[in-house]
Amino acid sequence: MKILITGGTGFIGQTLCPALLSAGHTLIVYSRTPEKVNATLGDQVTPLHSLQTLSESDHFDAIINLAGAPIFGGRWTDKRKQVLLHSRIDITQDLVQFIARAQSKPKVFLSGSAIGFYGDQGDTILDETSAGLEDFGHQLCAEWEQEAEKVKQYGVRICLLRTGLVVGKNGGFLQPMILPFKLGLGGRLGNGKQWMPWIHIDDHVAICLELLNNIELEGTFNLTAPNPVTNKVFAQTLAKTLHRPAFLPAPEWVLKPLLGEMSELLLGSQRVMPKRILDANYQFKFTKLEAALLKVLQD
């Protein structure tokens, strides 16, 4: 396939793009800093500096939309919220507009989202049919998904990727945690009872490949491992993997004033299950957190 990707130089994209190249696909990667594309992904990838330069005669078999400002990039001030929204929605709008005018439409559109769609729902087990609770995380994901779903009117198969916490090397939510835990300064956040839906990056990439190729699969998919854990268990498992203790909790009364509304990311609970991809008989490579962490930390 000839595939257009946004967010290709990001944390997930840096693993996904080599996998796509290995599978024989041709990649065009959009980036506001096109010089970074070849430096990061190699010369087999073609950089694209502007989506507006695409003409109606340009054709892609698939589009993968992963672009967006980092969700952990700072306190959720009103200004930061607008950055998070526009970095996702504006690019998605540009892609939808390109598809609308393209003479030959892509067969499939994979578009990013997150388990933040569901909001803080405690111990409730959530699948793709579950409604979300109104907060900023839900608003961000819902508006992003609504914009992406507009491609359906052009006959394009769409898969929405509600991604959990991605366990991978050299990036993602895990990276800033490793040093404190190595120093014995790690511990649970708040009461530690909040659920953390995680997924190893190899499974995330493999599911993306499955969704690209399986024309029977469309709609919303939770990209999370089938065994979510509580924050307390996550902290204990990471500490065990690093052969360190985990006895320094970060209390809620510290996190909320420090992080403001962004503390929802750390204290909110989403017990998310990947029902639809399991129903499609996808076999997870990593179903247990300890094995996933060991793979990342030993690579």
Confidence of residue 26 (pLDDT cuts 50, 70, 90): very high
| Whole-number pLDDT of residue 257 | 79
Dihedral, CA of residue 287, residue 122, residue 116 and residue 62, to nearest 10 = 40
Sign of CA dihedral 2, 208, 87, 74: negative
Q: How far is 249 from 251, CA to CA, in rounded Å?
A: 6
Query: Is residue 243 classed exposed, middle or buried when 0-12, 13-18 and 19+ CB atoms within 10 A define those classes?
Result: exposed
Architecture of domain 2-167+198-226+272-285: 3-Layer(aba) Sandwich (3.40)
What tens digit of pLDDT does each residue of 45-62 get? 999 999 999 999 999 999
Which residues, in sequence order, are bridge partners of residue 208? none
What tens digit of pLDDT does each residue of 201-228 get? 999 999 999 999 999 999 999 999 999 9
> What 3-state DSSP class applies to 63?
strand
What tens digit of pLDDT does each residue of 123-174 get? 999 999 999 998 999 999 999 999 999 999 999 999 999 999 999 998 888 9
Count CB-CB contacts under 10 A for residue 32.
10
Confidence of residue 263 (pLDDT cuts 50, 70, 90): confident
Q: Which residue has the tokens 């990667």?
A: 29
CA distances from 90 to 52, 93, 94, 143, 203 (A): 12, 5, 6, 11, 28
Q: Mean pLDDT over residues 248-273, rounded?
A: 85
**Listed range (19-28, 189-198, 256-265) with the worst mean pLDDT:** 256-265
Give the start-to-end residue ranges of the domains of the chain: 2-167+198-226+272-285
What tens digit of pLDDT does each residue of 164-205 get? 999 999 888 898 889 999 998 899 999 999 999 999 999 999
What tens digit of pLDDT does each residue of 76-101 get? 899 999 999 999 999 999 999 999 99
CA distances from 199 to 74, 151, 177, 185, 264 (A): 23, 27, 16, 24, 20
pLDDT score of 292 more than 90? yes
In angstroms, the first-to-last Cα distance of the chain is 30
Confidence of residue 256 (pLDDT cuts 50, 70, 90): confident
Q: Mean pLDDT over residues 284-291, rounded?
A: 98
Q: How far is 102 from 55, CA to CA, in rounded Å?
A: 7
pLDDT score of 298 more than 90? no
CA distances from 166 to 91, 202, 223, 279 (A): 22, 9, 9, 21
CA distances from 135 to 109, 117, 141, 144, 194 (A): 27, 9, 10, 14, 17
